[in-house]
Amino acid sequence: MAPPKHIAIVGGGTAGWMTANLLRHRWARLGVDVTLIESADIGTIGVGEGSTPFLRHFFRTLGIEERDWMPACDATFKSSIRFPGWSTVAGYESYVHPFFSEADRELGNLFFTNACLRRRGQAADANPRDFFLAAELARQRRAPLGTDYAYHFDAGKLGAFLRTHAVGLGVRHIVDTVARVELRENGDIAAVHMKSGARVDADLFVDCSGFKGLLITETLGEPFLSYRDNLFNDRAIAIPTPLVDGEDIPCETVSTALRHGWAWQIPLTTRYGNGYVYSSDFVSDDEAERELREQVGAAAEGATARRLRMRVGCVKQHWRQNCVAIGLAQGFIEPLEATALMLIQLSVEQFIAAMEGGEFERRQQDAFNRRVSEMFEGVRDYVVAHYQLNTRRDTDYWRANRANKNISDRLASLLDVWDRGGDFEAELERHGAKLMYLRPSWYCLFAGMGRFPAELRAAPQAVTAAVARQSLANMARAFRSHHRCLMGE
Ligand SMILES: Cc1cc2nc3c(=O)[nH]c(=O)nc-3n(C[C@H](O)[C@H](O)[C@H](O)COP(=O)(O)OP(=O)(O)OC[C@H]3O[C@@H](n4cnc5c(N)ncnc54)[C@H](O)[C@@H]3O)c2cc1C
């Protein structure tokens, strides 16, 4: 395989523009040309408002400062995700998945100790919201600057910002619709033909065309591995609402369990993004919209709802022939942990590393495909674990999720070791990087859902939640108000 001199990206959603920026930034000095084609007739998905901390590395790589992109995208800081209503265990009805930082070392270790005590039947406090700084910053609405934070943003505005930046780097931008794909005899893509009659050829094509996978699936016929057996949700409804007058802007995502899925609430500087992710096997679209409107309350009155379908799973090979799929075209895991942009970024970074390290051999392509599939499976398992651990009894949806036996051997083994009071640390280590999520995230999820024995004995040495909370409250007071920080005060 020869190194690419000209790369054509089909699709101008977040995936297309993130990819264009990263490839052009990295390879412009090698004389690699990048063209991005997007259709004026086919819109972008227009949702995707939360990130993981990886997005900070993305902007840092490109040398873009927060003060330049955040105001342009109505962005806010994100310290954590809160999950009300997933568990019914007393004291664990709402837990927090924090982003971790150095400041968590001491109380974090006490949390791990307490979680282990409780797992083995001792009455130690072990709800992560009482032990991690990010949870306290969210409670006090303080900007998590100085910790490992993430962002919320307007997806459309982020796309527009990245477009301007990419064009500034020299990416050629074509607005036209691909009508036909021309193949070479060896099965590679030779060129794409536009509705306007133009033809664009390239050495390498990146499929960022969204759920349909115009190049990777529709043209090359790469099989799609559905996660439907693992993750039931296949629909979403989104409703924006205004901010509450006089309220300080929060710095957390709230993901509340509803009757047939969960609802997100994401704060931006100009509005809230709200949405409901649910399964069409359990509820109709109309009923789901009613449920979401009820959850959002008066603010949703008169607001237009957008209904979306989700294809959950990923292609078997993310790089096939001379085509790499990135973004929704490569796959999607429902947005519970807001991982899609992270997977886009990591996939492109892996691709760059494979290209640069591999003298463009087939071996590198296989290694890339293995690693990207592992990343998807790792994220999938972490998301599936939320459903396995839920304790709701109110609907068939939650009962079926809990009873679902279609989980990976790896997740089954993690659950088993945790429940037996076995060596959870060793089990996490055994799976290593394939887990995608690190030790604190797994502890926070299992403990946060209250996955502990019902019968508990006293644990005299355990640090109580009250003591931990007091210590957090003192630490958090040193941080600036999130609202004032966003307003530049
Ligand atoms: C309900 C929901 C919530 C989500 N929440 C999050 C979140 O919180 N965090 C997160 O990271 N991600 C989230 N995502 C995922 C995120 O929205 C996407 O991963 C991201 O926007 C990238 O989308 P994309 O660019 O792959 O596809 P799209 O936005 O669908 O873009 C596809 C592009 O392809 C172009 N195109 C298609 N066909 C043609 C053609 N024939 N010719 C030319 N151009 C063509 C279109 O014009 C468009 O520009 C969410 C997704 C959903 C469904």
Is 78 annotated as catalytic?
yes
Q: Report the range of poorest mean pLDDT among 89-103, 156-170, 223-237, 352-366.
A: 352-366
In whole numbers, what is the pLDDT of the chain averaged over residues? 96
User: Do residue 289 and residue 325 come from a single domain?
Assistant: no
- From 9, 21, 47, the mutation candidate for ligand 1 (largest count of ligand atoms within 8 A of CB) is 47
Q: Residue 76 CA to chain centroid, in angstroms?
A: 16
Protein residue whose Cα sits closest to atom 47 of ligand 1: 39
User: Do residue 164 and residue 40 come from a single domain?
Assistant: yes
Torsion, Cα of 4, 165, 181, 332 (10° steps): 100
User: What was the pLDDT predicted at 55?
Assistant: 98
337 CB-near residues (< 8 Å, 6+ apart): 52, 81, 97, 379, 382, 383
The verdict on residue 159 lying in a domain is: yes
User: Do residue 221 and residue 319 come from a single domain?
Assistant: yes
- The atom number, within ligand 1, closest to the CA of 343 reads 11
User: What was the pLDDT predicted at 41?
Assistant: 97
Three-state DSSP string of the chain: CCCCCEEEEECCCHHHHHHHHHHHHHHHHHCCEEEEEECCCCCCCCCCCECCCHHHHHHHHHCCCHHHHCHHHCCEEECEEEEECCCCCCCCCEEEEECCCHHHHHHHHHHHHHHHHHHCCECCCCCHHHCCHHHHHHHHCECCECECCEEECCHHHHHHHHHHHHHHCCCEEEECCEEEEEECCCCCEEEEEECCCCEEECCEEEECCCCCCHHHHHHCCCCEEECCCCCCCCEEEEEEEECCCCCCCCCEEEEEECCCEEEEEEECCCEEEEEEEECCCCCCHHHHHHHHHHHHHHHHCCCCCEEEECCCEEECCCEECCEEECHHHCEECCHHHCCHHHHHHHHHHHHHHHHHHCCCCHHHHHHHHHHHHHHHHHHHHHHHHHHHHCCCCCCHHHHHHHHCCCCCHHHHHHHHHHHHCCCHHHHHHHHHHHHCCCHHHHHHHHHHCCCCCCCCECCCCCCCHHHHHHHHHHHHCCCCEHHHHHCCC
Active-site residue identified among 5, 78, 195, 316: 78
- The atom number, within ligand 1, closest to the CA of 49 reads 8
- From 195, 207, 209, the mutation candidate for ligand 1 (largest count of ligand atoms within 8 A of CB) is 209
Whether residue 1 has pLDDT greater than 70: no
User: What was the pLDDT predicted at 364?
Assistant: 86
**Mean pLDDT, to the nearest integer, of 71-78?**
98
Give me the number of domains the chain comprises.
2
Ligand 1, pocket residues at CB < 6 Å:
10-16, 37-39, 42, 44-45, 47-51, 155, 177-178, 208-210, 214, 236, 275, 308, 310, 327-329, 335, 338, 340-341
Categorize the per-residue pLDDT at 59 as very low, low, confident or very high, splitting at 50, 70 and 90: very high
Categorize the per-residue pLDDT at 461 as very low, low, confident or very high, splitting at 50, 70 and 90: confident
Categorize the per-residue pLDDT at 460 as very low, low, confident or very high, splitting at 50, 70 and 90: confident
The verdict on residue 110 lying in a domain is: no
User: Do residue 270 and residue 293 come from a single domain?
Assistant: yes
User: Given the structure tokens 């099989």, which residue do they identify?
Assistant: 223
User: What was the pLDDT predicted at 362?
Assistant: 72
Categorize the per-residue pLDDT at 488 as very low, low, confident or very high, splitting at 50, 70 and 90: confident
Whether residue 469 has pLDDT greater than 60: yes
The verdict on residue 288 lying in a domain is: yes
- The atom number, within ligand 1, closest to the CA of 328 reads 26
Categorize the per-residue pLDDT at 76 as very low, low, confident or very high, splitting at 50, 70 and 90: very high
Whether residue 69 has pLDDT greater than 90: yes
User: Do residue 164 and residue 294 come from a single domain?
Assistant: no
CA of 159 to the centre of ligand 1 (A): 10
427: tokens are: 């089990």
The verdict on residue 113 lying in a domain is: no
CA of 174 to the centre of ligand 1 (A): 18
CA of 37 to the centre of ligand 1 (A): 14
The verdict on residue 40 lying in a domain is: yes
Rounded to 5 degrees, what are φ and ψ at 102? Answer: -55, -40
Categorize the per-residue pLDDT at 3 as very low, low, confident or very high, splitting at 50, 70 and 90: low
User: What was the pLDDT predicted at 33?
Assistant: 97
User: Do residue 159 and residue 262 come from a single domain?
Assistant: no
User: What was the pLDDT predicted at 254?
Assistant: 98
- The atom number, within ligand 1, closest to the CA of 50 reads 8
Protein residue whose Cα sits closest to atom 3 of ligand 1: 48
For the stretch 252-294, pLDDT in tens is 999 999 999 999 999 999 999 999 999 999 999 999 999 999 9
Angle at 97 between CA 94 and CA 103, to 5 degrees: 120
Give the domain-ending residue among 286, 309, 332. Answer: 309
User: Do residue 181 and residue 301 come from a single domain?
Assistant: no
CA of 315 to the centre of ligand 1 (A): 16
**Mean pLDDT, to the nearest integer, of 68-87?**
98
The verdict on residue 444 lying in a domain is: no
User: Do residue 305 and residue 160 come from a single domain?
Assistant: no
User: What was the pLDDT predicted at 489?
Assistant: 83
**Mean pLDDT, to the nearest integer, of 58-66?**
98
**Segments forming the whole domain that contains residue 10:** 6-49+154-228+312-362
